[in-house]
């Protein structure tokens, strides 16, 4: 059997290696138009920032080593320009010599990936405007910083690569500004969790301009970024507004596409042609939770898809069950992770959902150097099925998200989370792990043990005295800041002061994180009150309000918009 693979990196290289492990006799040829067939594109920002110091560390495996180990004919600097489906052959061009030739195939795998979106705005062609997708892109940015000594940089786009680039540019000593068209960074998470990220990033000296779009880039002694509101100057600019499927070759070949331009494949990664497979960032996938079609470009799924395509070519009935969108990002010392549906998606897809917010310790509170993490878990009201989760914190975030991602993949419910037996010792966790606590919080709601309200409901509470807003923190905490209109009765004094509350009025209770206020709600409910707990507590409410207040300002001028 003769198998051609167009494109390396995650999907193509994984497919090639798996094919050889399954079939020692197959003829396998891999075409890659760039120099590197397998490289750490997720590590590129850290090369620019200096955490990865050697260029060679960006290459997962050199062409020569890959070819020798797997007996694969690797042709880099070679672009496949045409697919003749009827005669089952491709046209390839050597980009160094200019030679064109044809190569036949029995099976073909397309792993052409995605390319950075460059919006059609004036000035985008400037030599001081960069994108980051490949190793040569990283070299160009690093060389510019080393040779031109810029003092400031703009990152247009606040997704994963944009935020990672902002951090690493800051590490090189540049003044950095992120411009984001949406109201928050990191699209897979929701605004409320993103507010913790905004507050932290600003504390690190990075300027955020949200709800604002890049409209034009003007050349001069410095670059001027003209925005939908205002303008800002810098010495360089990184475009990081997203990627689109790189599917020109497949489009030319007449394969089926979705409206976004991604190649349509079945569960075996087979395209509309019975002899052509496609994998990686160029394909449409099934979103695992909702089962809707989606475009979710991630390295992990691309690797799995390459393996699945190879399995099916070699006669193994292997199936790709969908992409969950599990992701994690490091931002200085902070970790942010997400999996499954965010709240915006759950709402848009018509789920009858609710959510819980927790502010949990990374390990036992009495063990030194603990930190806390903000957790958001979204669930289906009728069944308790987990729909998605988001966490922002500083220690232990990734392992909690991995557990939650596994739970969602296994179709577990919140009740199942309470039953998980997770590893415990004081340096690593608590006897009731934050994942268990998330399950308990949802279970209490589903069982009717507590009713809750959220940070965005506070503004809608009646101001006519028909409800009571109760703060059960200590007097010292209350004096440092509280929700306007609330009365303060500390939890430990609540039972002795129930006569100060009107049983005819609903009581909306909050504390710092939601834990003490939950206890207060149980006391109140047990004494005949209609009580509601503020999920996530005053800490979350204050985080969102403060971030929103800062966001009301035009960070270009420091004046109100």
Catalytically active residues, by annotation: 42
Is the distance from CB of 214 to CB of 232 less than 8 angstroms? no
The first and second tokens of residue 373, run together, are 């993490």
CA 432 to chain centre: 27
* Rounded Cα distance, 389 and 376, in Å: 6
Residue for token digits 């965005």?
A: 456
Token pair of 214, please?
């890049």
Burial of 463 by CB count in 10 Å (0-12 exposed, 13-18 middle, 19+ buried)?
Answer: exposed
366, burial (CB in 10 Å: exposed 0-12, middle 13-18, buried 19+): exposed
- Full 3-state SS string of 266-317: CCCCECCCCCEEECHHHECEEECCCCCEECCCCHHHHHHHHHHHHHHHCCCC
Q: List all residues 6 or more positions away from 259 whose beta carbon is below 8 Å from its beta carbon.
A: none
Q: DSSP assignment, residue 508?
A: E
> What are the Cα distances from residue 140, in Å, to 7, 130, 185?
22, 8, 26
E strand map for 261-412? 276-278, 285-286, 293-294, 327-331, 334-340, 353-361, 372-380, 386-393
Backbone phi, then psi, for 95, in 5-degree steps? -75, -10
Cα-based distances in Å from 17 to 7, 46, 85, 265, 308: 13, 27, 25, 21, 12
79, two tokens: 């672009």
């Amino acid at each position: 059997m003769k198998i051609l693979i167009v494109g390396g990196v995650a999907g193509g290289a994984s497919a090639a290696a798996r094919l050889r492990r399954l079939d020692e006799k197959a003829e396998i040829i891999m075409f890659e138009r760039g120099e590197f067939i397998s490289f750490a594109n997720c590590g590129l920002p850290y090369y620019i920032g200096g955490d990865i110091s050697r260029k060679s560390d960006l290459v997962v495996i050199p062409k020569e080593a890959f070819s020798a180990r797997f007996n694969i004919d690797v042709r880099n600097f070679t672009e496949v320009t045409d697919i003749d489906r009827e005669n089952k052959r491709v046209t390839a061009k050597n980009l160094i010599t200019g030679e064109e030739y044809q190569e036949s195939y029995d099976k073909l795998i397309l792993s052409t990936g995605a390319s950075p979106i460059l919006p059609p705005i004036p000035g985008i062609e400037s030599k001081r405007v960069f994108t980051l997708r490949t190793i040569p892109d990283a070299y160009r940015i690093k060389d510019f910083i080393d040779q031109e000594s810029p003092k400031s940089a703009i990152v247009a786009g606040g997704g994963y690569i944009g935020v990672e680039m902002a951090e690493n540019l800051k590490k090189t000593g540049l003044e950095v500004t992120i411009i984001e068209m949406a109201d928050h960074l990191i699209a897979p998470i929701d605004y409320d969790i993103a507010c913790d990220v905004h507050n932290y990033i600003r504390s690190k000296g990075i300027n955020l301009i949200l709800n604002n779009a890049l409209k034009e880039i003007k050349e001069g002694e410095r670059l001027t970024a003209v925005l939908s509101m205002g303008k800002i100057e810098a010495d360089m600019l990184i475009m990081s507004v997203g990627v689109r499927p790189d599917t020109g070759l497949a489009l030319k070949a007449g394969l089926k596409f979705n409206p976004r331009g991604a190649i349509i494949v079945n569960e075996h990664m087979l395209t509309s042609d019975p002899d052509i497979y496609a994998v990686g960032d160029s394909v449409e996938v099934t979103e695992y939770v909702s089962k809707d079609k989606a475009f979710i470009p991630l390295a992990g799924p691309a690797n799995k898809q390459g393996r699945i395509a190879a399995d099916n070519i070699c006669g193994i009935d292997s199936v790709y069950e969908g992409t969950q969108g599990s992701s994690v990002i490091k931002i200085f010392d902070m970790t942010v992770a997400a999996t499954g549906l965010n709240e915006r998606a759950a709402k848009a897809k018509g789920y009858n959902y609710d959510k819980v917010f927790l502010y949990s310790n990374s390990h036992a509170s009495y063990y030194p150097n603990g930190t806390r993490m903000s957790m958001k878990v979204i669930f289906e009201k009728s069944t308790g099925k987990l729909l998605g989760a988001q966490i922002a914190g500083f220690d232990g975030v990734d392992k909690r998200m991995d557990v939650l991602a596994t739970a969602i993949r296994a179709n577990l419910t919140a009740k199942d989370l309470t039953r998980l037996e997770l590893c415990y010792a004081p340096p690593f966790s608590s006897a009731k792990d934050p994942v268990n606590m998330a399950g308990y919080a949802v279970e209490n709601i589903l069982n009717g043990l507590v009713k809750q309200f959220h940070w965005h409901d506070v503004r809608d509470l009646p101001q006519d005295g028909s409800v009571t807003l109760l703060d059960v923190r200590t007097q010292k905490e209350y004096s440092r800041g509280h929700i306007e209109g609330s009365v303060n009765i500390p939890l430990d004094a609540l039972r002795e002061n129930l006569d100060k509350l009107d049983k005819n009025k609903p009581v909306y209770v909050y504390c710092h994180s939601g834990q003490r206020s939950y206890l207060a709600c149980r006391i109140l409910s047990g004494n005949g009150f209609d009580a509601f707990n503020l999920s996530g507590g005053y800490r979350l409410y204050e985080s969102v309000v403060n971030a929103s207040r800062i966001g009301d300002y035009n960070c270009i001028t420091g004046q109100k918009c």
